[in-house]
Chain A
Amino acid sequence: MKKIPIIRLVDVWKVYKMGDVEVEALRGINLEIYPGEFIAIQGTSGAGKSTTMHIIGCLDVPTKGKVYLDGEDISKLNENELAKIRGKKIGFVFQQFNLVPTLTAIENVALPMVFQKVPNDERLERAKILLEKVGLSKRKKHKPSELSGGELQRVAIARALANDPKLILADEPTGNLDSKTGKKILEIFTKLNEEGKTVVIVTHDKNIASYAKKIIHLKDGKIIRR
Protein backbone atom coordinates (compact mmCIF):
# COMPACT_ATOMS: atom_id res chain seq x y z
CA MET A 1 0.00 0.00 0.00
CA LYS A 2 1.34 3.39 -0.97
CA LYS A 3 1.85 5.81 1.90
CA ILE A 4 -0.16 9.07 1.81
CA PRO A 5 2.06 12.12 2.38
CA ILE A 6 1.20 14.29 5.39
CA ILE A 7 1.80 17.33 3.26
CA ARG A 8 1.88 17.58 -0.50
CA LEU A 9 2.61 20.82 -2.31
CA VAL A 10 1.73 20.82 -6.01
CA ASP A 11 3.10 23.67 -8.11
CA VAL A 12 2.77 26.15 -5.30
CA TRP A 13 3.24 29.82 -6.09
CA LYS A 14 3.16 32.64 -3.60
CA VAL A 15 3.11 36.18 -4.90
CA TYR A 16 3.17 39.19 -2.60
CA LYS A 17 2.23 42.65 -3.66
CA MET A 18 4.54 45.28 -2.25
CA GLY A 19 3.17 48.55 -3.52
CA ASP A 20 3.16 48.26 -7.28
CA VAL A 21 5.78 45.54 -7.37
CA GLU A 22 4.87 41.87 -7.29
CA VAL A 23 7.30 39.69 -5.44
CA GLU A 24 7.32 36.00 -6.27
CA ALA A 25 8.32 34.37 -3.04
CA LEU A 26 7.61 30.83 -4.24
CA ARG A 27 7.74 29.80 -7.87
CA GLY A 28 6.25 26.40 -8.45
CA ILE A 29 7.23 24.32 -5.44
CA ASN A 30 6.51 20.58 -5.54
CA LEU A 31 7.11 18.81 -2.31
CA GLU A 32 5.92 15.74 -0.43
CA ILE A 33 6.50 15.06 3.22
CA TYR A 34 5.78 11.50 4.41
CA PRO A 35 5.07 10.33 7.95
CA GLY A 36 8.23 9.67 9.96
CA GLU A 37 10.50 11.86 7.84
CA PHE A 38 13.06 14.30 9.23
CA ILE A 39 13.52 17.03 6.67
CA ALA A 40 15.57 20.21 6.65
CA ILE A 41 14.61 23.00 4.30
CA GLN A 42 17.77 24.92 3.70
CA GLY A 43 18.39 28.14 1.88
CA THR A 44 19.80 31.61 2.18
CA SER A 45 17.81 34.58 3.36
CA GLY A 46 15.10 35.42 0.85
CA ALA A 47 15.14 31.97 -0.74
CA GLY A 48 11.51 31.37 0.31
CA LYS A 49 12.14 29.19 3.38
CA SER A 50 9.77 31.02 5.67
CA THR A 51 7.04 31.22 3.05
CA THR A 52 7.36 27.49 2.45
CA MET A 53 7.13 26.89 6.17
CA HIS A 54 4.03 29.08 6.44
CA ILE A 55 2.33 27.11 3.70
CA ILE A 56 3.35 23.71 5.11
CA GLY A 57 2.19 24.95 8.52
CA CYS A 58 -1.20 26.03 7.21
CA LEU A 59 -0.52 29.61 8.31
CA ASP A 60 -0.93 30.79 4.76
CA VAL A 61 -2.49 29.60 1.51
CA PRO A 62 -0.76 29.68 -1.89
CA THR A 63 -1.57 32.23 -4.58
CA LYS A 64 -1.57 29.37 -7.06
CA GLY A 65 -1.21 25.63 -6.74
CA LYS A 66 -2.55 23.02 -4.34
CA VAL A 67 -1.72 22.00 -0.82
CA TYR A 68 -2.89 18.64 0.49
CA LEU A 69 -2.81 17.76 4.15
CA ASP A 70 -3.46 14.05 4.77
CA GLY A 71 -4.79 13.91 1.23
CA GLU A 72 -7.25 16.76 1.79
CA ASP A 73 -7.01 19.96 -0.26
CA ILE A 74 -6.53 22.86 2.14
CA SER A 75 -5.53 25.57 -0.33
CA LYS A 76 -8.97 27.14 -0.30
CA LEU A 77 -9.80 26.92 3.40
CA ASN A 78 -10.59 30.01 5.41
CA GLU A 79 -8.76 31.39 8.42
CA ASN A 80 -10.80 29.55 11.05
CA GLU A 81 -10.68 26.21 9.27
CA LEU A 82 -6.91 26.53 8.97
CA ALA A 83 -6.67 27.41 12.66
CA LYS A 84 -8.49 24.20 13.50
CA ILE A 85 -6.08 22.13 11.41
CA ARG A 86 -3.01 23.88 12.86
CA GLY A 87 -4.20 23.29 16.38
CA LYS A 88 -4.68 19.55 15.84
CA LYS A 89 -2.09 18.45 13.31
CA ILE A 90 0.86 20.83 13.49
CA GLY A 91 3.24 21.86 16.25
CA PHE A 92 5.32 25.02 15.80
CA VAL A 93 8.73 25.86 17.23
CA PHE A 94 10.02 29.37 16.56
CA GLN A 95 13.42 31.02 16.58
CA GLN A 96 12.32 33.57 19.21
CA PHE A 97 10.58 30.88 21.29
CA ASN A 98 7.39 32.98 21.35
CA LEU A 99 6.06 31.85 24.68
CA VAL A 100 3.22 33.85 26.26
CA PRO A 101 5.01 35.98 28.88
CA THR A 102 2.15 36.06 31.39
CA LEU A 103 1.82 32.28 31.56
CA THR A 104 4.02 29.81 33.46
CA ALA A 105 5.90 27.06 31.63
CA ILE A 106 3.19 24.48 32.28
CA GLU A 107 0.42 26.90 31.25
CA ASN A 108 2.26 27.71 28.04
CA VAL A 109 2.46 24.00 27.25
CA ALA A 110 -1.25 23.60 28.05
CA LEU A 111 -2.35 26.60 25.96
CA PRO A 112 -2.83 24.81 22.61
CA MET A 113 -5.09 22.35 24.42
CA VAL A 114 -7.23 25.26 25.67
CA PHE A 115 -8.02 26.09 22.05
CA GLN A 116 -8.94 22.45 21.44
CA LYS A 117 -11.26 22.53 24.49
CA VAL A 118 -9.42 19.81 26.38
CA PRO A 119 -10.69 19.69 29.99
CA ASN A 120 -8.54 21.48 32.56
CA ASP A 121 -7.29 18.45 34.54
CA GLU A 122 -6.38 16.56 31.41
CA ARG A 123 -4.55 19.60 30.07
CA LEU A 124 -2.36 20.08 33.08
CA GLU A 125 -1.67 16.35 33.41
CA ARG A 126 -0.52 16.13 29.81
CA ALA A 127 1.49 19.38 30.04
CA LYS A 128 3.29 17.93 33.07
CA ILE A 129 4.21 14.76 31.16
CA LEU A 130 5.46 16.82 28.20
CA LEU A 131 7.64 19.03 30.41
CA GLU A 132 9.12 15.88 31.95
CA LYS A 133 9.83 14.61 28.46
CA VAL A 134 11.91 17.71 27.64
CA GLY A 135 13.59 17.57 31.06
CA LEU A 136 11.94 20.62 32.63
CA SER A 137 9.63 19.19 35.25
CA LYS A 138 11.34 21.28 37.95
CA ARG A 139 10.73 24.55 36.11
CA LYS A 140 7.06 24.13 35.34
CA LYS A 141 5.87 26.97 37.59
CA HIS A 142 8.38 29.46 36.18
CA LYS A 143 7.48 32.33 33.90
CA PRO A 144 9.35 32.68 30.57
CA SER A 145 11.30 35.65 31.98
CA GLU A 146 12.81 33.31 34.59
CA LEU A 147 14.04 30.72 32.10
CA SER A 148 17.22 30.48 29.98
CA GLY A 149 17.15 30.36 26.18
CA GLY A 150 17.60 26.58 26.08
CA GLU A 151 14.86 26.11 28.66
CA LEU A 152 12.54 28.41 26.73
CA GLN A 153 13.04 26.41 23.56
CA ARG A 154 12.38 23.17 25.41
CA VAL A 155 9.12 24.61 26.77
CA ALA A 156 8.28 25.64 23.20
CA ILE A 157 8.95 22.08 21.98
CA ALA A 158 6.74 20.68 24.74
CA ARG A 159 4.05 23.15 23.65
CA ALA A 160 4.41 22.03 20.04
CA LEU A 161 3.69 18.47 21.20
CA ALA A 162 0.61 19.44 23.24
CA ASN A 163 -2.09 18.21 20.89
CA ASP A 164 0.01 15.25 19.72
CA PRO A 165 0.45 16.61 16.17
CA LYS A 166 1.70 14.55 13.26
CA LEU A 167 4.06 17.24 12.12
CA ILE A 168 6.58 19.36 14.05
CA LEU A 169 7.64 22.51 12.20
CA ALA A 170 10.67 24.35 13.51
CA ASP A 171 11.80 27.70 12.10
CA GLU A 172 15.51 28.29 12.90
CA PRO A 173 15.00 26.66 16.30
CA THR A 174 18.62 27.17 17.34
CA GLY A 175 19.02 30.65 15.88
CA ASN A 176 18.95 32.36 19.27
CA LEU A 177 20.97 29.74 21.15
CA ASP A 178 24.66 29.07 21.65
CA SER A 179 25.99 26.07 19.76
CA LYS A 180 26.11 23.75 22.79
CA THR A 181 22.50 24.45 23.75
CA GLY A 182 21.50 24.35 20.08
CA LYS A 183 22.97 20.88 19.79
CA LYS A 184 20.91 19.67 22.72
CA ILE A 185 17.74 21.07 21.16
CA LEU A 186 18.53 19.35 17.88
CA GLU A 187 19.03 16.10 19.79
CA ILE A 188 15.51 16.46 21.12
CA PHE A 189 14.19 16.77 17.56
CA THR A 190 16.20 13.67 16.54
CA LYS A 191 14.72 11.77 19.46
CA LEU A 192 11.19 12.90 18.57
CA ASN A 193 11.73 11.71 15.01
CA GLU A 194 12.97 8.37 16.30
CA GLU A 195 9.76 8.09 18.29
CA GLY A 196 7.84 8.48 15.05
CA LYS A 197 7.14 12.20 14.74
CA THR A 198 7.56 13.87 11.38
CA VAL A 199 9.97 16.80 11.80
CA VAL A 200 10.64 19.67 9.41
CA ILE A 201 13.34 22.17 10.29
CA VAL A 202 13.81 25.36 8.33
CA THR A 203 17.33 26.74 8.51
CA HIS A 204 20.05 28.60 6.66
CA ASP A 205 22.75 26.64 8.50
CA LYS A 206 23.99 23.49 6.77
CA ASN A 207 25.39 22.07 10.02
CA ILE A 208 21.94 22.10 11.46
CA ALA A 209 20.47 20.74 8.25
CA SER A 210 22.87 17.83 8.54
CA TYR A 211 20.88 16.46 11.48
CA ALA A 212 17.99 15.80 9.11
CA LYS A 213 17.64 12.62 7.05
CA LYS A 214 16.74 14.61 3.98
CA ILE A 215 17.70 18.15 2.95
CA ILE A 216 15.75 20.29 0.54
CA HIS A 217 17.65 23.24 -0.89
CA LEU A 218 15.72 26.34 -1.82
CA LYS A 219 16.89 29.21 -3.95
CA ASP A 220 14.87 32.10 -5.37
CA GLY A 221 11.60 30.43 -4.54
CA LYS A 222 12.46 27.14 -6.21
CA ILE A 223 13.72 23.78 -5.04
CA ILE A 224 17.16 23.38 -6.56
CA ARG A 225 18.29 20.13 -4.98
CA ARG A 226 16.87 17.36 -2.80
Chain B
Amino acid sequence: MTAQTTAIEAAALALGDDALVLSHRLGEWAGNAPVLEEDVALANIALDLLGQARVLLSLVGDEDELAYLREERAFRNTQLVEQPNGDFAHTIARQLYFSTYQKLLYGQLASGEGPFSGLAAKAVKEVAYHQDHAEHWTLRLGDGTPESHTRMQRACDALWRYTGEMFQPVDGLDVDLTAMENSWLASVTAVLEQATLTVPDGPRTGAWTAGAGRQGLHTEPFGRMLAEMQHLHRSHPGATW
Protein backbone atom coordinates (compact mmCIF):
# COMPACT_ATOMS: atom_id res chain seq x y z
CA MET B 1 0.00 0.00 0.00
CA THR B 2 1.43 3.36 -1.00
CA ALA B 3 1.41 6.41 1.22
CA GLN B 4 -1.01 8.07 -1.16
CA THR B 5 -3.66 5.34 -1.02
CA THR B 6 -3.38 5.42 2.74
CA ALA B 7 -4.05 9.15 2.75
CA ILE B 8 -7.04 8.73 0.43
CA GLU B 9 -8.37 5.98 2.64
CA ALA B 10 -7.95 8.18 5.69
CA ALA B 11 -9.98 10.91 4.01
CA ALA B 12 -12.63 8.43 2.85
CA LEU B 13 -12.90 7.13 6.41
CA ALA B 14 -13.31 10.61 7.89
CA LEU B 15 -16.01 11.67 5.41
CA GLY B 16 -17.64 8.24 5.40
CA ASP B 17 -17.86 8.16 9.20
CA ASP B 18 -19.40 11.64 9.27
CA ALA B 19 -22.09 10.48 6.86
CA LEU B 20 -22.67 7.14 8.61
CA VAL B 21 -22.91 8.53 12.13
CA LEU B 22 -25.19 11.44 11.19
CA SER B 23 -27.33 9.03 9.19
CA HIS B 24 -27.79 6.87 12.27
CA ARG B 25 -28.61 9.85 14.48
CA LEU B 26 -31.24 11.09 12.00
CA GLY B 27 -32.63 7.58 11.75
CA GLU B 28 -33.37 7.72 15.48
CA TRP B 29 -36.15 10.20 14.64
CA ALA B 30 -38.04 7.61 12.60
CA GLY B 31 -41.37 7.20 14.34
CA ASN B 32 -40.57 10.01 16.80
CA ALA B 33 -40.50 13.23 14.77
CA PRO B 34 -42.90 16.05 15.73
CA VAL B 35 -44.91 15.70 12.52
CA LEU B 36 -45.22 12.94 9.94
CA GLU B 37 -43.64 15.03 7.17
CA GLU B 38 -40.51 15.46 9.30
CA ASP B 39 -40.39 11.78 10.11
CA VAL B 40 -40.22 11.16 6.37
CA ALA B 41 -37.87 14.07 5.63
CA LEU B 42 -35.29 13.14 8.28
CA ALA B 43 -35.37 9.48 7.23
CA ASN B 44 -34.83 10.54 3.61
CA ILE B 45 -31.86 12.72 4.56
CA ALA B 46 -30.51 9.81 6.59
CA LEU B 47 -30.85 7.57 3.53
CA ASP B 48 -28.91 10.00 1.34
CA LEU B 49 -26.14 10.11 3.95
CA LEU B 50 -26.10 6.33 4.26
CA GLY B 51 -25.66 6.04 0.50
CA GLN B 52 -22.69 8.40 0.64
CA ALA B 53 -21.25 6.48 3.59
CA ARG B 54 -21.48 3.19 1.71
CA VAL B 55 -19.57 4.55 -1.27
CA LEU B 56 -16.90 6.14 0.93
CA LEU B 57 -16.41 3.22 3.32
CA SER B 58 -16.22 0.79 0.39
CA LEU B 59 -13.11 2.68 -0.72
CA VAL B 60 -11.52 1.65 2.58
CA GLY B 61 -12.68 -1.93 3.04
CA ASP B 62 -15.77 -3.99 3.78
CA GLU B 63 -18.55 -1.53 4.61
CA ASP B 64 -20.29 -3.79 7.13
CA GLU B 65 -17.12 -4.63 9.01
CA LEU B 66 -16.21 -0.97 9.16
CA ALA B 67 -19.63 0.11 10.35
CA TYR B 68 -20.40 -2.67 12.78
CA LEU B 69 -17.14 -4.10 14.04
CA ARG B 70 -14.93 -1.12 14.76
CA GLU B 71 -14.44 0.14 18.30
CA GLU B 72 -15.31 3.69 19.24
CA ARG B 73 -11.73 4.95 18.99
CA ALA B 74 -11.39 3.73 15.40
CA PHE B 75 -14.15 6.06 14.17
CA ARG B 76 -12.95 9.27 12.53
CA ASN B 77 -16.17 11.32 12.43
CA THR B 78 -16.33 14.83 13.85
CA GLN B 79 -17.83 15.20 17.28
CA LEU B 80 -20.58 17.42 15.83
CA VAL B 81 -22.37 14.60 13.99
CA GLU B 82 -22.37 12.24 16.99
CA GLN B 83 -24.13 14.74 19.27
CA PRO B 84 -27.49 13.42 20.48
CA ASN B 85 -30.63 14.59 18.68
CA GLY B 86 -31.80 16.62 21.69
CA ASP B 87 -35.03 18.46 20.98
CA PHE B 88 -36.00 19.15 17.36
CA ALA B 89 -34.13 22.49 17.46
CA HIS B 90 -30.87 20.72 18.32
CA THR B 91 -31.31 18.40 15.37
CA ILE B 92 -31.99 21.35 13.07
CA ALA B 93 -28.97 23.31 14.36
CA ARG B 94 -26.76 20.25 13.79
CA GLN B 95 -28.25 19.90 10.30
CA LEU B 96 -27.68 23.57 9.52
CA TYR B 97 -24.06 23.48 10.62
CA PHE B 98 -23.25 20.18 8.96
CA SER B 99 -25.17 20.46 5.68
CA THR B 100 -23.69 23.92 5.04
CA TYR B 101 -20.22 22.43 5.53
CA GLN B 102 -20.94 19.33 3.48
CA LYS B 103 -22.35 21.33 0.57
CA LEU B 104 -19.18 23.45 0.45
CA LEU B 105 -16.95 20.39 0.82
CA TYR B 106 -18.63 18.36 -1.93
CA GLY B 107 -18.78 21.47 -4.10
CA GLN B 108 -14.99 21.79 -3.92
CA LEU B 109 -14.37 18.07 -4.37
CA ALA B 110 -16.75 17.93 -7.36
CA SER B 111 -14.83 20.62 -9.20
CA GLY B 112 -11.53 18.74 -8.79
CA GLU B 113 -10.20 15.57 -10.38
CA GLY B 114 -9.53 13.65 -7.18
CA PRO B 115 -10.82 10.24 -6.08
CA PHE B 116 -13.98 11.76 -4.58
CA SER B 117 -15.09 13.92 -7.52
CA GLY B 118 -17.63 11.42 -8.91
CA LEU B 119 -19.40 10.91 -5.61
CA ALA B 120 -19.16 14.61 -4.73
CA ALA B 121 -20.75 15.73 -8.02
CA LYS B 122 -23.70 13.50 -7.26
CA ALA B 123 -23.98 14.10 -3.52
CA VAL B 124 -23.69 17.90 -3.74
CA LYS B 125 -27.11 17.98 -5.41
CA GLU B 126 -28.63 15.84 -2.65
CA VAL B 127 -27.04 17.91 0.10
CA ALA B 128 -28.45 21.10 -1.43
CA TYR B 129 -31.89 19.79 -0.39
CA HIS B 130 -30.61 18.99 3.13
CA GLN B 131 -29.29 22.52 3.51
CA ASP B 132 -32.50 24.01 2.18
CA HIS B 133 -34.49 21.91 4.68
CA ALA B 134 -32.29 23.01 7.60
CA GLU B 135 -32.38 26.68 6.62
CA HIS B 136 -36.17 26.75 6.32
CA TRP B 137 -36.59 25.17 9.74
CA THR B 138 -34.03 27.52 11.29
CA LEU B 139 -36.08 30.44 9.97
CA ARG B 140 -39.37 28.97 11.16
CA LEU B 141 -38.14 28.17 14.64
CA GLY B 142 -35.94 31.24 15.12
CA ASP B 143 -38.55 33.65 13.83
CA GLY B 144 -41.45 31.68 15.31
CA THR B 145 -42.88 31.74 18.84
CA PRO B 146 -40.88 32.96 21.86
CA GLU B 147 -40.56 29.30 22.91
CA SER B 148 -39.25 28.10 19.53
CA HIS B 149 -36.90 31.10 19.34
CA THR B 150 -35.45 30.35 22.79
CA ARG B 151 -34.95 26.70 21.97
CA MET B 152 -33.39 27.36 18.56
CA GLN B 153 -30.97 29.85 20.10
CA ARG B 154 -30.08 27.40 22.87
CA ALA B 155 -29.38 24.68 20.29
CA CYS B 156 -27.24 26.92 18.09
CA ASP B 157 -25.23 28.01 21.14
CA ALA B 158 -24.78 24.47 22.45
CA LEU B 159 -23.41 23.04 19.19
CA TRP B 160 -21.29 26.05 18.21
CA ARG B 161 -18.14 24.78 19.88
CA TYR B 162 -18.19 21.62 17.76
CA THR B 163 -18.14 23.50 14.46
CA GLY B 164 -14.42 24.35 14.33
CA GLU B 165 -13.44 20.72 13.89
CA MET B 166 -14.99 20.53 10.41
CA PHE B 167 -12.27 22.84 9.14
CA GLN B 168 -9.29 21.03 10.60
CA PRO B 169 -7.00 19.48 7.96
CA VAL B 170 -7.65 15.85 7.06
CA ASP B 171 -4.94 13.71 5.47
CA GLY B 172 -5.69 13.04 1.82
CA LEU B 173 -8.37 15.71 1.55
CA ASP B 174 -7.31 18.31 -0.97
CA VAL B 175 -9.59 21.28 -0.29
CA ASP B 176 -9.16 24.95 0.59
CA LEU B 177 -10.30 24.85 4.22
CA THR B 178 -9.86 28.58 4.83
CA ALA B 179 -12.12 29.47 1.90
CA MET B 180 -14.62 26.85 3.06
CA GLU B 181 -14.67 28.16 6.61
CA ASN B 182 -15.16 31.77 5.47
CA SER B 183 -18.05 30.74 3.21
CA TRP B 184 -19.51 28.62 6.00
CA LEU B 185 -19.42 31.50 8.48
CA ALA B 186 -20.96 33.90 5.99
CA SER B 187 -23.73 31.47 5.08
CA VAL B 188 -24.60 30.43 8.64
CA THR B 189 -24.46 34.04 9.87
CA ALA B 190 -26.89 35.15 7.14
CA VAL B 191 -29.40 32.42 8.03
CA LEU B 192 -29.18 33.01 11.79
CA GLU B 193 -29.60 36.75 11.39
CA GLN B 194 -32.57 36.33 9.09
CA ALA B 195 -34.03 33.98 11.68
CA THR B 196 -33.66 36.78 14.30
CA LEU B 197 -31.13 34.63 16.14
CA THR B 198 -27.81 35.77 17.57
CA VAL B 199 -24.68 34.26 16.09
CA PRO B 200 -23.03 32.44 19.02
CA ASP B 201 -19.90 34.21 20.18
CA GLY B 202 -18.04 31.35 21.84
CA PRO B 203 -14.74 30.06 20.47
CA ARG B 204 -14.82 27.44 17.73
CA THR B 205 -11.17 26.44 17.87
CA GLY B 206 -8.50 26.38 20.56
CA ALA B 207 -7.80 24.74 23.87
CA TRP B 208 -11.28 25.09 25.34
CA THR B 209 -13.31 23.89 22.39
CA ALA B 210 -14.38 20.42 21.40
CA GLY B 211 -13.13 18.57 18.40
CA ALA B 212 -10.86 15.56 18.43
CA GLY B 213 -13.23 13.15 16.71
CA ARG B 214 -10.98 12.95 13.68
CA GLN B 215 -8.27 11.62 16.02
CA GLY B 216 -10.64 9.00 17.42
CA LEU B 217 -11.57 10.81 20.63
CA HIS B 218 -15.32 10.96 20.98
CA THR B 219 -17.87 12.41 23.35
CA GLU B 220 -19.61 10.26 25.91
CA PRO B 221 -22.96 9.77 24.09
CA PHE B 222 -21.19 8.26 21.05
CA GLY B 223 -20.41 5.00 22.84
CA ARG B 224 -24.07 4.43 23.60
CA MET B 225 -25.03 5.24 20.02
CA LEU B 226 -22.54 2.71 18.72
CA ALA B 227 -23.75 0.07 21.15
CA GLU B 228 -27.22 0.39 19.71
CA MET B 229 -26.05 0.60 16.11
CA GLN B 230 -23.73 -2.42 16.34
CA HIS B 231 -25.65 -4.61 18.74
CA LEU B 232 -27.60 -6.68 16.21
CA HIS B 233 -24.65 -7.36 13.92
CA ARG B 234 -22.40 -8.32 16.80
CA SER B 235 -25.00 -10.57 18.46
CA HIS B 236 -25.64 -12.51 15.25
CA PRO B 237 -22.33 -12.65 13.34
CA GLY B 238 -22.75 -13.54 9.70
CA ALA B 239 -26.55 -13.42 9.78
CA THR B 240 -28.23 -12.54 6.48
CA TRP B 241 -31.81 -11.75 5.45
Whether chain B is bound by chain A comes out as: no
